[in-house]
A and B are shown apart, each in its own frame.
Chain A
Amino acid sequence: MAPAPYLVFDGVAKYFGDLEVVAPFFNLTIKRNEFVVFLGPSGSGKTTLMRMVGGLETPSVGEIRLDGLPIGAPDRERGMVFQSYSSFPWLTVSENVAYGMKYRHDMTPERKKKRLDHYLELVGLTDFADFYPNKVSGGMRQRIAIARTLAAGSEVLLMDEPFGALDAQRREGLQLELRRIHRQDAKTIIFVTHDVDEAVFLADRIVVFSKRPARMLEDVDISAELGPDRTIALRDSEQFFKLRTRILRMVRAATGEEEKV
């Protein structure tokens, strides 16, 4: 893996009218195939940063470049799992997942069908394939969104608190699978979460943000300490535990930061 810059935030700031959401100037360089987790207080601007990568918002100042080229309109190259995890009510569960591949003309229908079955199975929705979204639970709808984005096969995955509404077991399963997909398909992933445990388990690198306006407080290289392979056993190791405590302190400091001012 060549450590060439892949996704670059170059002197970025973002304002919504008078509201400063990303403080000037935000700089971050993400390598190809890196798994970066954004951690920070709610309302700090993490979603906004992701939406800018997705091309759904434009930076007020500065530039975001992917593979050397400035980011423009949204595209399949940068897939998103939205925080609201919506699905289309007029499509069944499996049609919703298949929608992720609708505009892929580089795949045969047989290939699409295989992928569809695979991702439905992966998120545990095979038995609900023919249900409409209004007949399944919130957690299942979230899994529809995850499966759809994975099926789309984007180079960069932007995941905004994607496992929030899932039960612990399903969550752990999907975390392992996401790590596997990341290693196998060479994806670059930005993942937002509130859960420090999840962050440490998944990340190659954790970026800790301040309260709004978002500033980078810490940039922790997790892979340097835990290595690239993540197994369930890792969760019980002392190493993991210590790292998690360290990150937790950083997040507490970030949240309490403004109380001192």
Chain B
Amino acid sequence: MPGGTLHGAPPPGAINSQQSRLRDHRVTIIKATVSAAPHAPAANAASTPRPLRRNPPRNQFFAFRGTLSKRAQILTAIGSTLFVLAVWELSTRLGLINATFLPPPSVTLETLWNMILHKNLLMHAGISTLRIWVAFALAVIMAVPIGIAMSSFRGVGAALEPIVDFIRYLPVPALVPLSIIWFGVGETTKIFLLWLGTFFQLVLLVADDMRRVPQEYVEISYTVGARPRQMLTDVAFRAMLPSLFDNLRITLGWCWTYLIIAEIVAADTGLGFVIWAARRYMNTSEVMAGVVAIGLIGLVTDQILRLVHKRLFRYL
């Protein structure tokens, strides 16, 4: 190992005094380690300055993009979650926080269970989820072709960009009154508000995904004889699919925000309604249970979609 340093040394004739000193230094070290080796390695190694210091391995837990085993990651995730729950539980049990305002996790879970048993919580959750998927499906079916057209054809892009960009910045709650005037307080209003919150965002995200498809893919396709439509479906759409899927997953999460707004304003079913009704009686534990239910549904959906992503796009 230390001999390796000699290979880098310049030929004796060509070196100045400083380099020469450096070289001599190296040579003595090598001699020292070589002569020391056969006798008493442990004792001598300590007294000899080490010629080359290798960096100690980085702690993978905090190394930038370090590697951590799947098991260690799962354990860390569980550990941190339990820690947060424990702090929360203790701070209410010890009276640091008034349990009327923030019920501890144990109470929240118990309430959640009771609501499932006696208050039809699962039905409310099911209705909310259904509303989200209907509105989301509607938004996706419309946004994907329009977004693709916007970034594929300059004319369409120029025509739609200002409108989409304007509506995108309108806060959904501001449109609740209009929507009630138009559609009343039935399902249509809820679906409309959800659609409104996601469609315009999605159009721009889809357009952007398409814009990022490498020009080379398009050119490869054309030069082996694809017609423009074949290029779009066989190559451009296929190339944007992974990022499209990711954007859909993220947008689906936003839907919950708008759902709660819609269900608070005008509904007698759904998780938003449950939460809002509980608030009226200062039933904080039921409010918390409703919020936790939303969080759990979101978590599970997201994990499933991530898994599907992994399965679909193995080549990434």
Contacts and interface: CB of A to CB of B under 8 A. Distances in A.
Given A90-B239, A90-B315, A132-B315, A82 B216 contact: yes
The 8 closest A-B pairs by CB, nearest first: A76-B225, A74-B222, A103-B225, A132-B315, A152-B224, A80-B223, A86-B216, A100-B224
B214 A74 contact: no
A74 B230 contact: no
A78 interface: yes
B279 interface: no
Contacts of A134: 315-316
Nearest to A56: B219
Counting chain A CB atoms within 10 Å of each CB, the highest count among B219, B227, B316 belongs to: B219
**Chain A: interface secondary structure?**
loop
Contacts of B216: 82, 84, 86
B226 A102 contact: yes
A89 B316 contact: yes
A154 B224 CA distance: 8
Counting chain B CB atoms within 10 Å of each CB, the highest count among A74, A102, A134 belongs to: A74
Contacts of B234: 102
A141 to B, nearest CB: 12
B214 A86 contact: yes
Counting chain B CB atoms within 10 Å of each CB, the highest count among A55, A88, A100, A134 belongs to: A88
A78 B223 contact: yes
A14 interface: no
12 contacts: A73-B222, A76-B224, A80-B219, A80-B223, A82-B216, A88-B235, A89-B315, A90-B238, A101-B224, A103-B230, A104-B225, A148-B220
A2 B192 CA distance: 70
A54 interface: yes
Contacts of B223: 54, 56, 74-76, 78-80, 149, 152, 154
B315 A82 contact: no
B61 interface: no
A148 B224 contact: yes
Contacts of B222: 55-56, 73-75
Contact of B219 (A76, A82, A90, A152): A82
B183 interface: no
Contacts of A79: 223-224
Counting chain B CB atoms within 10 Å of each CB, the highest count among A79, A89, A100 belongs to: A89
Interface in B216-265: 216-217, 219-220, 222-227, 230, 234-235, 238-239, 241
A114 B223 CA distance: 22
B224 A88 contact: no
B233 to A, nearest CB: 12
Interface of B: 214, 216-217, 219-220, 222-227, 230, 234-235, 238-239, 241, 313-316
Contacts, number: 70
A15 interface: no
A73 B316 CA distance: 32
Counting chain B CB atoms within 10 Å of each CB, the highest count among A78, A103, A132 belongs to: A103
A75 B225 contact: yes
A103 B216 CA distance: 18
Contacts of B224: 76, 79, 99-103, 148-149, 152
Interface in A113-164: 132-134, 145, 148-149, 152, 154
A149 B219 CA distance: 12
Interface in A82-108: 82, 84, 86, 88-90, 99-104
A103 to B, nearest CB: 4
Contacts of B220: 80, 82, 86, 88, 99, 145, 148
Contacts of A90: 238-239, 241, 313, 315
A225 B8 CA distance: 48
Given A56-B222, A74-B222, 15 more contacts: A54-B219, A76-B224, A78-B223, A79-B224, A82-B219, A82-B220, A86-B214, A88-B217, A88-B235, A90-B313, A99-B220, A101-B224, A103-B225, A132-B315, A152-B225
A90 B239 CA distance: 8
Contacts of A78: 223
B152 to A, nearest CB: 15
A111 to B, nearest CB: 16
A132 B316 CA distance: 9
A101 B217 CA distance: 16
B278 to A, nearest CB: 48
A82 B214 CA distance: 13
Counting chain A CB atoms within 10 Å of each CB, the highest count among B219, B224, B316 belongs to: B224
Contacts of A86: 214, 216-217, 220
B221 to A, nearest CB: 8
Nearest to B219: A56
Contacts of A56: 219, 222-223
Contacts of A132: 314-315
A102 B235 CA distance: 12
A38 B313 CA distance: 40
Counting chain A CB atoms within 10 Å of each CB, the highest count among B214, B217, B241, B315 belongs to: B315
